Amino acid sequence: MFAFVLRRIGQSLFVMLVVAIIAFSMFRFVGDPVHNMVGQQTSMEDREKLREALGLNDPFYVQFYKFIKNAVKGDFGVSYRHGRPASEIIAERLPATLELSLVAVLFALCVGIPMGVYTGIKKDSILSKFFLTTSLIGVSMPVFLIGILMIWIFAVELHWLPPFGRGDVVELGKYWSTGFLTISGLKALILPAITLGLFQMTLIMRLVRSEMLEVLRTDYIKFARARGLKNSAIYFGHALKNTLLPVITITGLQIGTIIAFAIITETVFNWPGMGQLFIQAINNVDIPIMAAYLMLVSLIFVIINLIVDALYFWVDPRLKTGNVVARST
């Protein structure tokens, strides 16, 4: 098991290294940093001096080493556009994106799992068929269209919820601004979070449903019935727990996707998060911001993957003893 942990950490470091190379290459090959920093009038000589001062003439590996050293400290340089450290700007935007993603994931889980269980147990009921059909429509619509529809119905027509923005936020300490503590902040979260998590919600519902159907056919469920257990114990104690492993995997993978896809939702809802910042950075070729964003998102990916692995060990006792047997058929 120790070897397993080491291997996973090694893999994570490798992934981070690859992303670092990509981010670093952007600095070198996309646009000219000096060009981005100086005005039109600067002479070739001054530019060359600046180039030397920035270390841009050093060999590749020296520059890369410096890049990594700074990146570990969270230093990605100064934003070309804003003239402030990129990491500082990202940090300001991080809470908005994380809170939105968190609510989206909670929505996907808290609605997707019960609906999956229901449609798995009552597979022939009319409500199940309704859920499955509507979820199919939800899956096949692009995110921005869902977002626009939501805004149109719930903000423009019904006036229930705000069409854009984060509402009022409260500063928690120096680094975190939260929308969880005000009514307008919570209201503002609803539409973008549903838009962002809708696809994952239907994905989890379908996954739980198909896993439930499979698990309910197993011998241990038959035997649980023969032992006279209550239906609630059979469905939630025995069946649901066995569907959790794939749900954990998919949820883990999808958290990354949600954070990445926040780019679209944030743009539609004018949500002041990292995704919106990233789109602006692309338009401005603001490499430090892009690099910092890429590194941060991949770090989140890697950390979530490690957590998923840990949860596996927690849920499935067969892994703890190192005696991994194929799932019972």
Partner 1 sequence: MTEALLKVENLSIAFKSRHGELTAVDNISFEMAPGEILGVVGESGAGKSLTGSALTGLLEKPGFIKSGQILFENRRIDNLPYEQMRRLRGLKIGAIFQDPLTSLNPLYTVGFHLVETIMTHLPMNQAKAKDHAIRLLTEVGIPAPEKRFEQYPHQFSGGMRQRVVIALAICANPKLIIADEPTTALDVSVQAQILRLLKTMSKEHGAAIMLITHDMGVIAETADRVSVMYAGRIAEIGPVASVIKNPQHPYTQGLMAAIPIIGHQAERLAQIDGAMPRLNAIPTGCSFNPRCPKVFERCYHDRPDLMTAQDSLAACWLHDKTR
Which residues contribute to the site for partner 1 (CB under 8 A)? Answer: 218-220, 222-231, 233, 237-238, 241-242, 315-318, 321, 323, 325, 327-329
CA angle 317, 320, 323 (to 5 degrees): 90
Q: Which is nearer to partner 1, 84 or 318 (CB)?
A: 318
The residues, any chain, with a CB within 8 Å of residue 128's CB and separated by 6 or more, are 118, 119, 122
**To the nearest whole angstrom, how small is the minimum distance from the Cβ of residue 316 to partner 1?**
6
Q: Which is nearer to partner 1, 154 or 312 (CB)?
A: 312
Q: Is residue 198 a contact partner of residue 180, using CB atoms and an 8 Å limit?
A: no
Q: Which is nearer to partner 1, 108 or 244 (CB)?
A: 244
Q: Is residue 191 a contact partner of residue 160, using CB atoms and an 8 Å limit?
A: no
State the Cα–Cα distance between residues 127 and 118, nearest whole angstrom: 9
**To the nearest whole angstrom, how small is the minimum distance from the Cβ of residue 221 to partner 1?**
8
**To the nearest whole angstrom, how small is the minimum distance from the Cβ of residue 327 to partner 1?**
8
State the Cα–Cα distance between residues 323 and 305, nearest whole angstrom: 22
Q: Which is nearer to partner 1, 126 or 158 (CB)?
A: 126
Say which amino acid occupies 49.
Answer: K
In order, the DSSP letters of 143-165 are: HHHHHHHHIIIIIIIS--S-SSS
**To the nearest whole angstrom, how small is the minimum distance from the Cβ of residue 219 to partner 1?**
4
Could you tell me where the DSSP H helices lie in the chain? 2-29, 33-37, 44-53, 60-72, 86-121, 126-140, 143-150, 183-216, 219-226, 231-232, 240-268, 274-283, 287-315, 317-320
Q: Which is nearer to partner 1, 146 or 244 (CB)?
A: 244
Q: Which is nearer to partner 1, 115 or 240 (CB)?
A: 240
Q: Which is nearer to partner 1, 93 or 238 (CB)?
A: 238
Tokens describing residue 288:
């430090």
**To the nearest whole angstrom, how small is the minimum distance from the Cβ of residue 315 to partner 1?**
7
Q: Which is nearer to partner 1, 84 or 230 (CB)?
A: 230
Burial grade of 254 (CB within 10 A; 0-12, 13-18, 19 or more): buried
**To the nearest whole angstrom, how small is the minimum distance from the Cβ of residue 314 to partner 1?**
11
Q: Is residue 185 a contact partner of residue 169, using CB atoms and an 8 Å limit?
A: yes
Run of H or E including 170: strand 170-172
**To the nearest whole angstrom, how small is the minimum distance from the Cβ of residue 111 to partner 1?**
24
Cα separation of the two ends of the chain: 26
**To the nearest whole angstrom, how small is the minimum distance from the Cβ of residue 180 to partner 1?**
34
Query: 176 in helix, strand or coil?
Result: strand
